[in-house]
Amino acid sequence: MMQPRQGLKEGLSGRRTQLLYVSLGLLLLVVLGLLAFSPNVPKVTFGAQTMVTGGLFILICAVGLVAAVAPGRLRGVGHEAKRSPGVVGHHPDCPEFSGHVLRVYGRALCAGCTGLALGAILAILGGFLCFFGGFSVGDPSMVFFTGALLVALGLIQHFIDMGSPLFHLVLNIVFVFGAFMLTASLRSLGASFYVEAYLLASVVFWVAARIRVSQEEHVRMCSRCPEPCPDGFR
């Protein structure tokens, strides 16, 4: 009787942690919107601003890409691939995790990491086109709010989980691409470098929050299971 109660306690604790990180991430998003369209933000611009902002954004995406496809190369990302017969897509081979594992031509992939990797690739390509190729993104206000919506969906994805690995994949793709849309729209809006620096710092937090929320979700799922599992998240 003690094991299910302990699991429930861990699950509730994990949900509170998830709510904390998601709330902070959404708060950063709201503040970004206020800063982006406020006339009171000090206007600080310089000649190489586009290249500096774009280069830093592409660097963040490149690090995120490495974390998604080769987590063992980066310390502290918290999802190093497990190697065990009972593991698929670095998740336990368990029906509870079926919504997290994408199967492509017989190969099991983590839907979340695959989505983050694809999103990072698209964001890097878009970054080179917009920040170094001179391409514009159209109506910057529309692009900004669309990007904000996509980032918000990526942050709250574990609260709207439909148990579909494809849904999980898409939400992670648009999560990263939404961050690119925000960055590109600020360039078109002629935003102050203060606002762009705030966005870049927010992107780092959003990625970290996305990873932490995912970790807590894994522990929550395993804590509900009374069966002993050497490959589970505890």
List the chain pLDDT tens, one digit each, 234 residues. Answer: 334 334 444 444 667 888 999 999 999 999 999 999 988 888 888 889 999 999 999 999 999 888 777 655 555 555 554 555 556 556 666 666 666 777 777 777 788 888 999 999 999 999 999 999 988 888 999 999 999 999 999 999 888 877 788 888 999 999 999 999 999 999 999 899 999 999 999 999 999 998 888 888 777 776 777 776 665 566
The answer to whether residue 96 is domain-embedded is no
The answer to whether residue 119 is domain-embedded is yes
pTM for the structure as a whole: 0.84
The answer to whether residue 230 is domain-embedded is no
Q: Are 121 and 64 in contact (CB under 8 A)?
A: no
Q: How many CB atoms lie within 10 A of CB 212?
A: 16
Please list, in sequence order, all residues whose beta carbon lies within 8 angstroms of the beta carbon of residue 40, skipping any fewer than 6 positions away: none
Number of folded domains that form the chain: 1
The answer to whether residue 229 is domain-embedded is no
The answer to whether residue 232 is domain-embedded is no
